[in-house]
A and B are shown apart, each in its own frame.
Chain A
C-alpha cells in the first residue's frame, strides 16, 4: 500500500512539473503583446514599462522561469496587476468559499445520485426507473447557468426561501450547490444504476438469496457495498467537473469565490491572477485524483491484500 502511494507520487511529479511549465508559458502564448493588453489601450509608455517589469517580462526567459519556480516554492503567487495586492492574500478567503461550495455540491451529488441510481436499479424497467433515468439524463443536459437562474427565480425571487446571491450564511450555499451538483448527481445516478445491476447478477448475490435473505437485505448489505467502490471512484474523478462548473455557478449566484475571480481577471487581463488560479485548480485536481485512486485501492480489500 505504502509502496503504491510512493509510486503514484513519483508519477505525479513530472505531470505537475509539466503543468506548471505550461502555465508559466501561458503569458507567452497570448497573441499580441500581453503587456499592452494588460496595461490597457490608453497606457502611457511609463505604465507599459512598469507593467512589463511587474510581469517580469523584461528579463530573459530562463531567469523568468527561475523566478517563477522560486516564487511558487516559497508560496509567492505574485501580485495582481489590477489591485497590486499579493495574490495569495486574495485567495485566502475565496478559496474557502469555493471549497465550501464544491464539497456541498459533491455531497448533494453523492446522496441524491446514489439514491436515484439505487431506486432505478431495484425497480429496473418499471416507472421509478424511467423517471430516475430521465432525471439523470436531463441533469447532464442542463446548462448550469440556466438551472441556476431557474432555481433563483423559483426559490429566491418567488418563494423567498433563499438569498439570490452572495455569501451570507449556509443558506446562500444551498441553491448554488444544487446547481453545481446536478451534473455530477446525474452521472452518479446512471453509474450507480449500471454498477448495481452488474453486481446483482453476480454469483454471491445468488448465494445470499439462496440463504433466504430478504431482497432488501441482499441489495443493501451485499450488493451496494460492492457496487459502491467504482461509484465512489467516479465521484472523486468528477471533482474536476466541479471546479470547472464552479466558475459558472459563482458567476450566476454572484459568489465571491475562486471561479468568479478567474472570470473577472480574464476580463481585466490580469494575467498573474489568471495564471495563479489555473495553477491552483490544476494542482487541486491532480491531488484529488491521486487521493481518489489511493482511496479506491484502500477500500477494495481484494486489491489491498494482493499488493
Chain B
C-alpha cells in the first residue's frame, strides 16, 4: 500500500516538476541566441530530410546530358553536376540520407552504450571491469580509423557506415552513462535502500535515468555532428555511399575533378555538410550551457 502510494506520489510530483521545468528550459533556451537559431535550422533540416523527395524540384537521379555542369541559375538554384542532375534536389534528398544515417547510428550507439553504461555502473564488479576494459581497447583506436577498419571488413555501403559509426560511438556513451550512474547510485541508493528495500532497483532506474538524460542529450547532439562528418568522410573516401547516390560526401568526391572549372559542384554539398554539423554543434553547446553551466566559463 505504502509503496504504491509513495510511487504514485512521486509520479505526481515529477509531472508537476516536469511542466515548470519545461518552461524554465524554454526561457533559458531563448537566451542562448546562436543555439536558438541553430535549433530552427535543425528543425528546417529535419523537415527537408523528411519531405525531401516530395519537395525536390527535379529527380535527383535522372541524368540530363544537355545541362551538365551549369552554374547556379534561376532554373537550377544550385546548378547542375557533371551528369546534368540538379544539385539542389540532390542536396535535399541527401539531407535525408545524412540525417538518417547519423541519427540511426548515434541512436543505436547511444542505446547500446547506455545499456552497457548502466550495467557497468550499477552492477560494478566483473561486469564493470569487462566493459571498461572493452571500451579502453576501443578507445585505443582513433575514431575515424575504427570506422574505416569496420567498413574495410564489412565492405562499403551506407548500412555498414551506420554500423561503423554506431560502434565507435558506443564506448563514449558507455563511459558517460557509467559515470552518471555511479554518481546517482551514491545519491539515491542510500535513501532508497533505507526507505524501500526491495523496490530499490526499480526506483533507481526511475531516478538515475532522468539525471543522466540531460548529459546524454548534450552528448547526443554533439555526436550527431561528429557522425555526419564521419559518414561523409567515409563516403568521400569511397567507402560509404554509392557514388551515384546523392550523399553529400559522395557528391564532393565525384565533383572533385571539376573543382577548377565548376567549383559549385564541390562547394555546395560541402556547405551543406558544414552548416548541418555547425548547427548541431551550436545546439549541443547551447544545451550544455543550460544543463551544465559549470563547464562553460
Contact = CB atoms under 8 A, between A and B. Distances in A.
Interface string B136-166: 1100111111001101111100000000000
B237 A251 contact: yes
Interface residues of A, number: 46
B40 interface: no
B259 A241 contact: no
A152 B266 CA distance: 12
Contact of B233 (A153, A248, A267): A248
B136 to A, nearest CB: 6
Contacts of A73: none
B233 A152 contact: no
B143 A241 contact: yes
Interface in A15-66: 15, 18-19, 22, 26, 29-31
> Which of A243, A244, A247 counts the most chain B CB atoms within 10 A?
A244
Interface stretch (A90-98, A136-144, A206-214, A219-227): A136-144
Interface string B265-293: 01100110110011001100100000000
Nearest to A266: B152
Contacts of B237: 247-248, 251, 263
Interface in A114-168: 124, 137-138, 140-146, 149-150, 152-153, 157
Interface residues on B, range: 35 or more
A243 B233 contact: no
Contacts of A278: 141, 145, 149
Contacts of A197: 297
A79 interface: no
Given A137-B281, A247-B145, A146 B274 contact: yes
B137 A15 contact: yes
Interface of B: 136-137, 140-145, 148-149, 151-155, 225, 229, 232-233, 236-239, 249, 252-253, 256, 259-260, 263, 266-267, 270-271, 273-274, 277-278, 281-282, 285, 295-297
